[in-house]
Amino acid sequence: MPVPKLPETKSQHPAPAKSEGRKPWKKKSPVEVILDQAEKLKREIAETEIDLQQKRKQLQKFEEARKLFEAT
């Protein structure tokens, strides 16, 4: 004999938690999308340049240390 199904009290998918900091979705025009992507790319380039400068300074210190070791 089949088991009768109980009515589900909860939905299959849990409701997402509402966060008050989230903004409502706003459709962007293609121009806005391109401008946002350009800004994002500029920020990434700036971060990469900062990282590269730090690595160059570190390399310079290693080169100076290598010269000291070679001199002895």
What's the confidence (pLDDT) of residue 18?
A: 62
Q: Which tokens hold the place of 53?
A: 């400068």
- Arithmetic mean of pLDDT, 5-27: 70
Whether the pLDDT of residue 16 is over 70: the answer is no
Mean pLDDT taken over the chain: 86
Contact 28, 36 (CB under 8 A): yes
Q: How far is 28 from 12, CA to CA, in rounded Å?
A: 32
What is the phi/psi pair of residue 54, to 5°? -65, -40
pTM: 0.55
What's the pLDDT score for residue 27?
92
Confidence of residue 23 (pLDDT cuts 50, 70, 90): confident
The pLDDT tens digits for 25-45 are: 889 999 999 999 999 999 999
